[in-house]
Amino acid sequence: MLKSTLPQVASLFIDGQWVSSDASRRALNPFSGESIGRVFECPPELLELALDAARRAAPGVAAMPARERARKLRQAADNVRAHAQELAHVMAVETGKPIRDGRTEVLRSADTLDLSAEEGVRVEGQHIPMDSSAIGAGKLGVSLRFPVGVVAAITPFNAPVNLTAHKLGPAWASGNAVILKPSPQSALTIQKYVEVLLEGGIPPEWLQLVQGDEAAAALIRAPQVDFISFTGSSRVGELIKTGSGLRRVALELGGVGHTIVAHDATLEDSASACAMNSMRLSGQSCISVQNVCVHRSLYDAFVERLAASVAGLRTGNPLDDATDVGPVISPDSATRIQTLVDDARRDGARLLCGGTHAGALVQPTVLADVPATSRAVQHEVFGPVVSVMPYDDLEAVFRQINAGPFGLQTGIFTQSMASAFAAVRSLRMGAVIVNGSSTWRSDQAPYGGVKASGIGREGPRFAIREMTEERFVVFNA
C-alpha cells in the first residue's frame, strides 16, 4: 500500500528495499518556509550496493521481451493516473508548483510512459546494402540496436514527475536498468512517484533510487554506469560531461527563451501566449519565455497588452486551484532573480509590473526596453520575469540570438512563410516554434538543444536511440 499522501521522509530504494542512512537534510515548503520532512543522503557504501544491484539487474531487463516490458509500463501509467491528485498535492507542497499545473504534469507523465511502451516494441536496426562495394559483395549486413545496460538518471525539481518519466520510460522500454537521483528539492515527490510505479507493477530490480549531491558526483564517475541522462543547469551539465569520461551522455540544459513578434504577427495571440508562458511554473522552465523581441511597429501596443495580462495573474498558495503563479523553489532563488531585475533597471529597463518578492514568492515581472547586453537577457533567469525589447531588422534579431551561448528553443509569431523559413534556416536552435512561443513541448517530439543548451534528444523514440547502442553484424555466405 502507498504511504501517507505527503511522505515524511525521502528514503533510498536499493536492491528492492526502502532504506535510510545516518545523514539527512530537511525538506522545506517554499511557500510557507515550514519543514515538511527529511531527505536521506546516500553514502558511498549504499551507492555501491545500488550500483551492484543495477549491474546485476541489467541482463534480466534486457532479456525480457519488449512486449512484456511495454505491458508493465502501461500498467504503471494507469496507476499514475489513479494517483494524480495525491502526486500533484505532494508536488505543490514541496516545489510550490500550482496544484492544477501539477495534475497536468502527472497526467503527462503517464502519457510519457505509454509513449515509451509504444516505442519500446519498435526498436529496430537496418539492412546495410553490402553489394555497393567490392569487399562487401555477396555478404549480408544488418545493424541492430541493444540496450546500453545501466542508465544513471539525474532529474530536476521544476517538472519532477514528467522529466523523471522521460528518463525512466525510454530506459526501461529499451531494456536498461536505472539508477535515479532526483533533485533534493523534489525528493518527497519522487519518493511518492516511485511508490506509485512499483505498486503499478514495475519490477523492483529495474530501479534504484538514491539521494544527495555526493551520490550524484559519484554516479557520473562510476564504472558500473553505461549512460548518463541529466536535466538541469548548463553549469552542472558541463561538469557532468567533463567527469563522465568516454561514457555517452544526454544533457538537457538551460536556455533564455527568445520569442520573436514580427511586424505581421497577430497582436492578441502573441501577447497572450507570451504572458502565459513567461509566468507559467513561475518561469522555472528552461524554455520559459524570458526574452521577447517585438517589431517596433507593434511594440507599444504589445507591451501594453502583455503587462495587462501579467498583472492580472493571481499569485499565492500553490494548493489553491485559483493560483496562477506560486513561489519559486527557495528564498535564495528569489533573491537571485531580484538581483537580475534590479540590474536590468539600472541598465535602463522600464518596470511595468512586479519587480518585488517576499520570501520565495516573486511577483510576476515585466521589463520593457531592456538592453540586449543586460544580464536579465543574457543569463537564464529561471523565474517569473519577462524582458521585452524592440527591433527593426529581423535578420539582426537572428544574429543577436545566435550570438548567445544557448540554443534550446525560439518562437516566432508571423503570417509570412518567408519569415518563418528564414527563422528555421537561420536560428541555431534545438527547435523553432512557428506561431508559438519558445515554451512548447509535446512529449513524443524530439526535445533538446545545441551549444550550452545540451547534447542529445529526449522524447521516447529519440531517447531510446540514445539509450541503445548499435551493433553491426555481417553474414558471410
Query: Residue 93 corresponds to which cell in the numbers above?
Result: 507542497
> To which residue does cell 527593426 refer?
392
- Active-site residue, from 286, 293, 380, 458: 286
Q: Which residues contact 48 (CB under 8 A, 6 or more apart)?
A: none
> DSSP code of 121?
T
Would you state the pLDDT for residue 34?
96
The full DSSP string for 260-283 is EE-TTS-HHHHHHHHHHHHHGGGG
The segments of the chain whose pLDDT lies below 50 read 1-4
Angle between helices 99-120 and 66-82 (to 10 degrees): 170
| SS3 state at 377 | helix
Would you state the pLDDT for residue 6?
77
Q: Where are the extended beta strands (E) located within 52-139?
A: 126-128
User: Which of 214, 292, 284, 274 shows the shortest CA–CA distance to 254?
Assistant: 284
How many other β-carbons are positioned within 10 Å of the β-carbon of residue 373? 8
- Contact between 158 and 333 (Cβ < 8 Å): no
Catalytic residue status for 286: yes
Residue 172 to residue 272: CA distance in whole angstroms: 39
Would you state the pLDDT for residue 385?
98
Query: Residue 384 corresponds to which cell in the numbers above?
Result: 517569473
Residue 457 to residue 450: CA distance in whole angstroms: 10
Query: Residue 253 corresponds to which cell in the numbers above?
Result: 540544459
On the question of a common fold for 9-253+453-475 and 258-442, the answer reads no
Would you state the pLDDT for residue 352?
98
Domain 258-442 classified CATH 3.40.309.10? Answer: yes
- Contact between 98 and 106 (Cβ < 8 Å): no
> DSSP code of 186?
G
Residue 302 to residue 464: CA distance in whole angstroms: 42
- Contact between 356 and 383 (Cβ < 8 Å): no
Matching CATH number, 9-253+453-475, of 3.10.20.30, 1.20.1250.20, 3.40.640.10, 3.40.605.10:
3.40.605.10
Task: For the chain, give every domain's residue range.
Answer: 9-253+453-475, 258-442
Helix (H) / strand (E) element for 95: namely helix 84-95
pLDDT digits (tens, 9 = 90+) for 285-342: 999 999 999 999 999 999 999 999 999 999 999 999 999 999 999 999 999 999 999 9
Q: Going by DSSP bridges, is the β-strand pair 361-362/357-358 parallel, antiparallel, or unpaired? A: antiparallel
Our measurement of the distance from residue 167's CA atom to the centroid of its chain's CA atoms, rounded to an integer in Å, reads 10
Q: Which residues contact 291 (CB under 8 A, 6 or more apart)?
A: 256, 257, 258, 259, 370, 377, 386, 387, 388, 389
pLDDT digits (tens, 9 = 90+) for 156-196: 999 999 999 999 999 999 999 999 999 999 999 999 999 99
Query: Residue 197 corresponds to which cell in the numbers above?
Result: 510505479
Would you state the pLDDT for residue 298?
98
- Active-site residue, from 105, 119, 195, 252: 252
User: Which of 299, 282, 249 shows the shortest CA–CA distance to 386?
Assistant: 282
Residue 45 to residue 453: CA distance in whole angstroms: 34
User: Which of 97, 24, 13, 118 shows the shortest CA–CA distance to 323?
Assistant: 97
- Contact between 279 and 384 (Cβ < 8 Å): yes
- Contact between 471 and 451 (Cβ < 8 Å): no
Output phi, psi for 450, to 5 deg: -125, 175
Query: Residue 4 corresponds to which cell in the numbers above?
Result: 501517507
Prediction pTM value: 0.96
